[in-house]
Each structure stands twice: as C-alpha cells, then as structure tokens.
Structure 1
C-alpha cells in the first residue's frame, strides 16, 4: 500500500477520509478513485460516504513525486511523529480555509531540525469528512510519499497502534520532508497535513495539475517486490542499447520528464537581469589578484557589501546577516537575528598538521559553524538556528587561495548554483539562505542550512539520519563504503538525468554554467554526431582531428603533450627520489613502476584527442559536479535500509565536462582494493539508473571504456599536484614519514590529498590500467600512435 500526503486528505486507521474545505480548492483537482474490476473510475465528488469494515484500506489516486518503501507493524506504542509544512517547487501552497472546529494547532517545535516538522499532540478532534473508497488489502506494505506538503495548520487524526518509518523526500535537507530522525511510533493520534491517502500500489489513475503526467507508475511499485539487498538496488537488469542511445519521445519520456524536470525556470523579468557565466573582470595574474583581494565590493547577485574574513563577519554580526537574508528573501521581514550564540571556525589551516577531526573539513575555504538567536522563534520552513558558512581563506602566499580563486576559478559557479538551483532539485542539495560573490575581487560568502551529520562512524543510524561525513581519501575509516559508492553512483545518475530533462525545456541552466561561444561550437558538433551510429561517429571523429579548422577546439581541451609529460616527470621524480619508502613495495618495484609510467606517458600524448572524443558525444553532455567525490556528498538510509545520497560543495559546476570524465574523477579517491572489485559494477549501476531516469540507453561496456579513457587522459593533471608534497614537507622530513597513514600526511589536509592521489594512481596503473582499452580505442578509430 502507499501513503500519499496531500493538502486535502487524511487517514484514520481503518478509514480514508476526504475533508471538504470551505473553498473549492478540491475542485481544481479531479481525483479519480480506481475500482478493482473496472477500468474507469468515478470522480471523487460523486462518491457517497460508506462504512469501511475492519481490515480494509480506502484509496484515492495521488500524483507520484518520489517514494521509498516502509513496512508497518502492529503492537508498539508511539510517543510522537512529524509531518512537513514545506511546499514543493511547482506546487502551489494550499490556501483553503480550515474550519476551526476541525483543527488544533501544534506548537512550533523547539529543535532546529523540527522547524520543517510539526510534533504530534494528544487531544483528538472530529473532522467533517467523506469516506472515499475501500480496497481489500491485508497487512499492506506502506510507502509514504509527499505529494504536496502545504504551509497550513495541522489536523489531528486517529491512527492504529503501529511503528511508522516516514521517508525523506528528494529536495532540500531541512526545507522539505523530515531528513534525520530515528524510528517513531504512532500510539493513538498523529498530526499530518490535512490530506493523506492510502492506495494500492498499482492500477490507479489521476488527473493532475498542469504540467504533471496523467498517469505514473512509480519505480518498483507495479507488482514489484521491494529490493531486499543493496546489490539488487544497485544493479538492475542491463538495458538494451539503441543505435545512438536516445529514447524516442513518447508517453514514457513525457512521464519521466514530468517527474524529474522539477525545477521551474526563472520568470522572464527575473531572467533578463539574472547574472550569467563569464569571468566578470576577475584577475588573471598573481599581481592583479594581490591588488584586489583585500578590497570590499558589493556582491553581484544581491548588491550588498559582505565580510571578507571570519573576523569581519563576527564584527558585522547579526545586523548584517539579517539584512542579507532579508534582501535574499529567505528570512521574513518580521523576524531578525539578534545574537550569534556559537561561532566555530573550521579548516582555517590546511597547510599545517591539525587534529584528525579538524583535517576532515576540506581545503577550499574556511567553514564556520554558526548558531543564532532570533527576535521570535522561526516557524514553518523559515531558517533555523544552526547554519553553515563558507568563505575563502585569506591570502597568505602559502595556501591555495590564488590557485582556487584564479586558476581553478570555481567559486562563481558555486555561487550561481546556490542562487539558482540548490535545494530545488529531485536530488538532495543544501538549502541556501544567502550567497554572493564579487568576481573582480574573487571574494564570496555562502550561508546555508547546516547538515545534521552524525558524529560516531561506528554507530548504527536509523532511517533518514545523516551518516558522519566521509573524509577525503579516508575511505579506510568508513564501515559502509561499498553501499555509499553505489548510492553515490545512483545519485549522480539522477542529477545528470534531471539536467537531461530540464535541458529539453529551458536553456537557462546551460547559459548560467557554460561559456556561450564554447556551447555554440559544442552544439554544432552534437547536431552532426547525434544521428550517427557508433562506427560513423568514429569516422567523424577522425575526420575532425584531420581538419585544421578543428585544431583550436581540440587544443583547447586536456593538457598539451609537453605539459602532460612534464607533470608525469615531476611525479616520477617524487616517487623515485623523495618518497619511495612511503609507497607499498608492490607499487614501486622497478618493473611495475616502469610499466605503469610508460603506459601513462603514452596515453598522455593523446590527452587532447581523447578529451575531444568525450566532448563530442551528445549523450555525455550534462551539468557537471567536477569534484563529486564522496566527501562532497551526504548519506543516509531509507526505511528499507537502502543507502541514499545527496550532493554538496558545487565549486566549478559547469556544462560541458563529459559524464565519463566526471565519474573518473568522482571515484578517484576510492580505495584501490575496493575499485578492483567494484569499478565496472559502479559504471553499470550508473548506466542502469540513468536509463531509469531518462530512458537513454548508455551501453555499459562503451561507457566503461570511455570512463577508463577519461582516467588515462586525466592522470597528468593529477600528477601536477605532487608539487605540494615537496612544498609542505622537506626532503629531510619525508625521510621520517612512514606511509599514507602517518600523521604528517593524514592530518595535513593538502598533503593527504596530493600524496594519496599519487599512490592510488600507481595502484590503478598496476591492476586496472586504462592502457588496454586505450589500445582498443586507437585500433577502433584507426588513430596512429604519436612518437
């Protein structure tokens, strides 16, 4: 059975009741109730109240937005439960009038996480209601699904004695359905939004609001059993690939698009003045950067000056943050921040040895765990008291501030993501309270909801509870790493699937994350490639490489051969002359090392050509998270014990980075032994989930080849980072370092990242080298090796 939460219905143990509001809101939705033996269904309005015998559930058809299975049992008592008060993007907030006799208002929750929930209360009240339809089901399995939570008073209804495991909705962490709490039990009463309905998992139809599908069978519902093992969820049946990977537009494609293209494009009057991609006058040299980095300047989204450091932020205090959140529209005008109650700075020293927990906070900027008090208690989906703030490091000359702000230049894209998309997608992303940047000075500030991470990595967590954060290149500390990587694979497929559908309906996202000239060239190539079969694509690829007009395009991608060779030589020198004793012996035996480096060098000569091949495949076009390792994700289990994943830390988000290249970078930090067993399975998991979301068949074998090619041409760029290993420790200090678990490596964030990368590259080249598939690619396309 399925529980759907919508504004007009509530469930009461043995009955499903339709509450008739005083206005005609329900008339706008022509809900149809299916009959077990009849294809058509009568309108809800025609149905008369009927008594419902014990053991029966009633039904009315809802919209399908997202679902996860939960099992109900009888016999245990409950103290409290929660229901959301946040509306889904694209669904209007309910505005009906609730009869006072039918409602008891719940008090605002006291905990920060509870602001998107409402606590159960004990007194019961009666409701004017109409009984809808009965369907015989014994001991049903229940799915809870949020269809349209509404900002409105909550109603109390009677509920049978049974444990309930509410599931999370795929949207922002705290702004939507409850994300983090353990099992709760319903005793006598439960507070729910005034529309909840129970229906059988198949054989239903609904007429929905504009832009939604006429009929949807949610994944895994129609006659399918709930997955019982992680592998079942991770690896569904292999899809059958079509010639070009595309699904023809049809009912299935329309239904998928309605489900996944949930982001609403900006209104024209907003879009006309909305910031776009571009350099914005950012400095391009160290000298120019030094001149402006300390300059106060207004942000480009909201027009306010903002603090440049943690000290300035503390000095500008609650008054500035109130003004900023009022400007962004995230804090109601009748409320304000009156006090900072906690101001805990993290990741301030990424080039020094710190405590192990401090070294887990990343290296791209300082983080502030901020807690605040308000002039009045927040209600509904208003911002809570616990926030997370990120700002760039102050430039010292020793840290990576110049590299991150100028060379990588990913902060504008992250600011764009937060203002445009974050918290509004079918894949969980953080909810933002204020985000702005000035590109000319490279300064920024992001204020967002604080994710309620667990703190004990050995503890077992309940449904919806966020697991402790994964440390970069610290998978050896994770007890659930295998499940996390499969969840991560599915989450990436869903996010790329969201973009696939959204890009069919609007170009706003692409325009904000891509360079117009590059996008124009890219789409011209896509138009040529899309109708071709694989053999014709290879022929077109070779033809492009021989075309002098395409040379600038090819040369703009990947690393030039000379640069790639120099970075590999730098890594070889470090391995042979500085840190040989730190690496596992099996990786640096002369024959093994020589073979690995020779293969990497040969692939590197063709880095630009391989990069161009990836770029020209239209099915690989997406909005990229270029640093999507699992430390930039959050994890929790659903009610059936399946691991789920959300994505955070969107620096450098862009259109144009191909899907195989993103995957290769995303899993670079996984333990080599794990990847030896699971690498190809993870790629197949991604392909299966992507097909489920989009209908697009990415041949798993071809995708795996392109994933391996992406690994190969990316290796020189990884090796470039080895310079930090000799900047952060002298040769003499390296003599005293034992291995990657030594505190001089593991407790210095940048050292850990850039040393462990090299060790993992050597392990990759030893057991999973991309070289054999590189040779196969060269043979298939007819390309000649470079001398």
Structure 2
C-alpha cells in the first residue's frame, strides 16, 4: 500500500513510510534533493544501492539508504538516514507523530542557516500538519569510523570513557546554540517558529495525580526499594526519607504550574535548545588540538525553552555520581559557553535552583510511579542494574536511573527548601 502526502512547506508530494519511499526510488530522491537546493539540476541520484529498515527510537519508522549519483560530485553524501513521523503498523509508536513537526522545521532551518552547532546535513524535510505526517532525510553519521567515536547508549555511561569530558562537550554544543539564539545570531523567525508548546513535546496530556494517588506512589516506591535494595539510592529504603517524601510530594506536585511559569518568564535563560540531548542523541570526535567535540542529532521537540529544561534533558540519564561530584562545575561551564556564544551572564545559583525544581516536578509527575512498571519487567529475585536483564533493556534501565537521580537530588538538595526559595524570588 502506497502512502503519499503533500508537504506544507515545499508543496512536494512525499512518501509517508519506508515501503512507499522504496517504491518511489531514485526519481523521488532526486526531486526531493533538488527541491532543497542540495542537488544541481544537471545531476541526479542514479541508484539506491542499500535500503534497510532501522529499528530503535520511540516513534515513527526509519531506514538506512546508500545512494549513487550520476555525477559523484564532492560533498554529496552517499550514506543517508530517513526518518518518518508515522508508524502505521504500531499505534503506540504512532501516537508520537506530532513530535516530529519541530524536528522537520529544525532540519529545514539547518539546511539554510549556518548554525553554531554541528548537526547532520539535512537533504529534505517536510511535514503535513493536518495528518502529523513528516519525512526527514539527512546524511548518516558514520559512528565508530573516520575518527568518530562509537555510539553511546543512554543510561550506560559506566561503559563510556571520560564521562565528564563527554558531558562538557555535550553542554558546550547546547550552550552555543542557546547563546547564539539569545544573542540574535539566528533568524528572527526562530523565536516564533519554535516557541515552546507543551502539547507538541508530550504524547497526550498527563492527568494530575490526587493526594491519595501520590501517597500510594510513595508507598509503592518504598516497597520497591525494600524488594530491590541495589537498584535505587540508599535513601529510598530509609523510613525517614519515605516520611519526608510523603510530607513534600503533594507540595511539589501542586507547584508544577508555578515552577513552569517561573522558568518560562526567566527571559535571560530562554533560548533555542535541544529537548533531549542525552549522549545517545550525540556523536563525538577529537579535534586536531585535542578538544573533544560534539554534534547533536534527533532534534524532536526542539524548542525555545528555559535552558534549565535542556540541562535536565541532557543530564537526567547521566550517572548519579556525575550529579553528585560535578554538577556545579558543569553549570559553570555551560554558563561560560552560553555567554561566549552571545547570551547574557547567567545567575548560576538561580540556574541551579531552576534545574533542581524542574527535576523535582518532572520526577513527581513522570517518574515517581516507575516502580509500577518496573515490577512487571524485573525478575522476582534481588538484582542490580548491571545485570543484563536491566543493562540490555533501555526502558527499564532509563526509568531506573532517572528515578534514582531524582531521589538522590530529593535526598541531598531538599526540594522543600528550594520551593521556599522559589516562592520568595
């Protein structure tokens, strides 16, 4: 079954899934690249020499393509990656189809604008808003080849060399894009085109939890910590910490709207940011001078947002040890790079408070009930997170580590006191 849709930006009819693209062949790819000004009229794609479905990710279908040009001109990529917003065969994955709208827009922006951050070269991007159907075609990053480091999976930083150095490089890229936008180096249309919209960066609305539901979640968390003592920070198993969570969880949940309003109103920290810059959405290489550099991919839900939100998106899947030992240094590094790229001087104490409060409200809203899922996915016996049944299961290891980071911060930073600071700001 062929599925085509007409793009809102280019007016070009484009395939909505890999099978249709495969059938469309070199002729469509030639037309698409010409429409984006990538391929000269006198050249064309003469053959697709590889077309392979690519698994992974939480939404849409993906494929790897190798192509051959009639005139193999220098600079034209032959190894390509295509991403679709839709997965017509999987309703769960298809629910996230709207998340690609901003990614497509960012791809188009990157094709016509010199950015201060390295991204995969965009060859074609378009989206049909009415059906949430999009297609993004880019160069494929050759991970583990030609001086590029291997791919690093999310929440497996204990397997990554020099984690601190990699996160410094990651935050450098985020800071440079945000600082450049704040300083006016990007087109004026960016602020409106990528304005933060909660409906675009979430899949469905989350119903607020009642006081009884929040209490039940805390008790389930405590029972989970007792059953699996090696999976969460030691504090999670202490009765006094459970008592503190029960006393504070309602206040944190009730503060979410006010905290988000505060973040959005802090103008000097609001800029264009990658929404989810975990290390698995980055690639790394070493420059000739020895500097570790970072490119960013998978720009789903890219938005103009408070940089504290982007910092959580980058650090939420880091090892808890990184938070414990290097958070202040990383925030100072981010602030320096942000200012050097054109942004204002940041109040690091306020940035830190906003990052922690965002972690608090996101943790209570999205992660506190993770044990309800984890108990269905884990074996009955005690286990640690290095066991292959966790390490090789991304949804399990990701929820565990992100929840662990929230609990560690709750224990060591005192969310209740931070809410008092916020109320007095």
TM bin (shorter chain): 0.7 to 0.9
Q: Is the 8 A contact 1:570 1:719 kept in 2?
A: no
| Distance in 2 of aligned mates of 1:312 and 1:723 | 41
Q: What SS does the aligned partner of 1:421 have?
A: helix
| Distance in 1 of aligned mates of 2:89 and 2:212 | 27
Change (3 A) 1:437 1:643: same
| Distance in 2 of aligned mates of 1:393 and 1:737 | 39
Of 188, 204, 217, which residue of structure 2 is paired with 1:507?
188
Deviation at 1:442, TM superposition (A): 1.7
Deviation at 1:426, TM superposition (A): 1.8
Change (3 A) 1:561 1:639: same
Q: What SS does the aligned partner of 1:681 have?
A: helix
* 2:401 equivalent in structure 1: 756
Change (3 A) 1:624 1:600: farther
Asked whether 1:603 is paired with 2:263, we answer no
Q: Is the 8 A contact 1:570 1:720 kept in 2?
A: no
* 1:692 equivalent in structure 2: 340
Asked whether 1:490 is paired with 2:179, we answer no
| Distance in 2 of aligned mates of 1:742 and 1:478 | 17
* 1:704 equivalent in structure 2: 352
Asked whether 1:615 is paired with 2:297, we answer no
Change (3 A) 1:498 1:610: same
* 1:440 equivalent in structure 2: 130
* 2:151 equivalent in structure 1: 469
User: Pairwise mapping of residues 127-146 of structure 1 onto structure 2 (< 5 A)?
Assistant: none
Deviation at 1:401, TM superposition (A): 2.3
Q: What SS does the aligned partner of 1:340 have?
A: strand
Q: What SS does the aligned partner of 1:502 have?
A: coil
User: Pairwise mapping of residues 144-223 of structure 1 onto structure 2 (< 5 A)?
Assistant: none
Of 451, 455, 478, which residue of structure 1 is paired with 2:160?
478
Q: Is the 8 A contact 1:564 1:717 kept in 2?
A: no
Q: What SS does the aligned partner of 1:697 have?
A: coil
Q: Is the 8 A contact 1:600 1:712 kept in 2?
A: no
Q: Is the 8 A contact 1:496 1:622 kept in 2?
A: yes
| Distance in 1 of aligned mates of 2:216 and 2:175 | 35
Change (3 A) 1:566 1:480: farther
Q: TM (normalized to structure 1)?
A: 0.48
Of 415, 425, 432, which residue of structure 1 is paired with 2:115?
425
| Distance in 2 of aligned mates of 1:687 and 1:777 | 20
Asked whether 1:633 is paired with 2:282, we answer yes
- Runs (5+) with no aligned partner, structure 1: 1-293, 348-360, 456-463, 519-558, 782-787
Asked whether 1:367 is paired with 2:62, we answer yes
| Distance in 2 of aligned mates of 1:700 and 1:737 | 41
Q: Is the 8 A contact 1:611 1:713 kept in 2?
A: no
Higher share of residues assigned helix = 2
* 2:79 equivalent in structure 1: 386
* 1:738 equivalent in structure 2: 383
Q: What SS does the aligned partner of 2:346 have?
A: coil
Change (3 A) 1:585 1:410: closer
| Distance in 2 of aligned mates of 1:681 and 1:476 | 20
Render the CA deviation track for 1:714-744: whole Å, top value 9, x for unaligned: 2233327838936xx837x542683333434
More RCO (CA 8 Å, sep 6+): 2
Change (3 A) 1:506 1:444: closer
User: Pairwise mapping of residues 299-448 of structure 1 onto structure 2 (< 5 A)?
Assistant: 299-347=7-55, 361-379=56-74, 381=75, 383-392=76-85, 394-396=87-89, 399-402=92-95, 404-405=96-97, 409-422=98-111, 424-448=114-138
Change (3 A) 1:400 1:672: same
Render the CA deviation track for 1:236-290: whole Å, top value 9, x for unaligned: xxxxxxxxxxxxxxxxxxxxxxxxxxxxxxxxxxxxxxxxxxxxxxxxxxxxxxx
* 1:643 equivalent in structure 2: 292
Q: Is the 8 A contact 1:578 1:734 kept in 2?
A: no
Deviation at 1:470, TM superposition (A): 2.0
Change (3 A) 1:564 1:299: farther
Deviation at 1:699, TM superposition (A): 2.1
Deviation at 1:576, TM superposition (A): 4.3
Q: CA RMSD in A?
A: 3.0
Render the CA deviation track for 1:308-360: whole Å, top value 9, x for unaligned: 3222222222222122112222112222222222223222xxxxxxxxxxxxx
Q: What SS does the aligned partner of 2:277 have?
A: coil
Q: Is the 8 A contact 2:103 2:301 kept in 1?
A: yes
* 1:133 equivalent in structure 2: none
User: Pairwise mapping of residues 584-599 of structure 1 onto structure 2 (< 5 A)?
Assistant: 584=232, 586-591=234-239, 592-596=241-245, 598-599=247-248
Q: Is the 8 A contact 1:614 1:706 kept in 2?
A: yes
* 1:125 equivalent in structure 2: none
| Distance in 2 of aligned mates of 1:333 and 1:587 | 64
Q: Is the 8 A contact 2:218 2:368 kept in 1?
A: no
Change (3 A) 1:390 1:721: farther
Change (3 A) 1:632 1:394: same
Deviation at 1:752, TM superposition (A): 3.3
Render the CA deviation track for 1:697-718: whole Å, top value 9, x for unaligned: 2122222222222222222333
Q: Is the 8 A contact 1:337 1:372 kept in 2?
A: yes
Of 758, 763, 775, which residue of structure 1 is paired with 2:420?
775
Q: Which structure's CA Rg is the greater one?
A: 1
Structure 1 runs (4+) greater than 6 angstroms displaced: none
Deviation at 1:683, TM superposition (A): 0.8
Asked whether 1:583 is paired with 2:231, we answer yes
Q: Is the 8 A contact 1:415 1:436 kept in 2?
A: yes
| Distance in 1 of aligned mates of 2:11 and 2:394 | 34
